[in-house]
Amino acid sequence: EIAQLAADFARMASHHADDLLSPAAIRDYFGEVYWRKGDGLDGKQIMRDFALNGTEADIAYRTIAGKFQMIESGMAPVIVARERHAQAALERLGIDGVRPGRVARALQPYLVQVPPRARNALLANGHACFAWEERFGDQFCVLKTESLYRDDTGLLFEDPEYLSLENSIT
């Protein structure tokens, strides 16, 4: 993919060597990319989730968010709610009519990204749970075992089965 984008750039640059950042150069570059990629640019059919008419917009934000990732990282978020601000944001999820997007934005500073298998293991071993799962599904995964998070090293998620066993020994 990068080689193809570089070739698109080279074709555009041959016509705009004097100013590669001019509006005409940028238009020509994206014209090359769009011509080559065609419908492949919307492979996940995201544009179908926008319903626009002259007076209203019906946009399926959650559906779009589920389909779209700027970087396909394969990571899953875990909320580390040790600070009062994060705890208060999670409590707001219980309020009728709350906008989960607003709460999610408030919780962003308290997210740790982990591989999905690690998050699943944290959940399976009781170290994490979904807040308000009946209302929001798997949107808000919260770390329950706060000792697994340290300011100097971050979230310890590599071996939650061992960590679970370690915590049960007295």
What whole-number distance in Å separates Cα of residue 101 and Cα of residue 121? 26
The pLDDT of residue 72 is: 62
The pLDDT of residue 51 is: 81
Mean pLDDT of 70-90: 89
Mean pLDDT of 88-116: 94
Instruction: Write down the pTM of the prediction.
Output: 0.56
Mean pLDDT of 103-107: 95
What percentage of the chain carries pLDDT values higher than 70? 90
- Enumerate the domain spans of the chain: 2-42, 76-168
Phi, psi of 77 (to 5 degrees): -85, 145
The pLDDT of residue 77 is: 95
3-state secondary structure the chain: CHHHHHHHHHHHHCCCCCCCCCHHHHHHHHHHHHHHHHHHHHCCCHHHHEEECCCCEEECHHHHHHHCCCCCCCCEEEECCCCHHHHHHHHHCCCCCCCHHHHHHHHHHHEEEECHHHHHHHHHCCCEEECCHHHHCCCCEEECCHHHEECCCEECCCCHHHHHHHHHCC
* pLDDT surpasses 50 at 169: no
* pLDDT surpasses 50 at 92: yes
For residue range 113-163, what is the model confidence (pLDDT) as tens digits?
Answer: 999 999 999 999 999 999 999 999 999 999 999 999 998 989 988 765 655
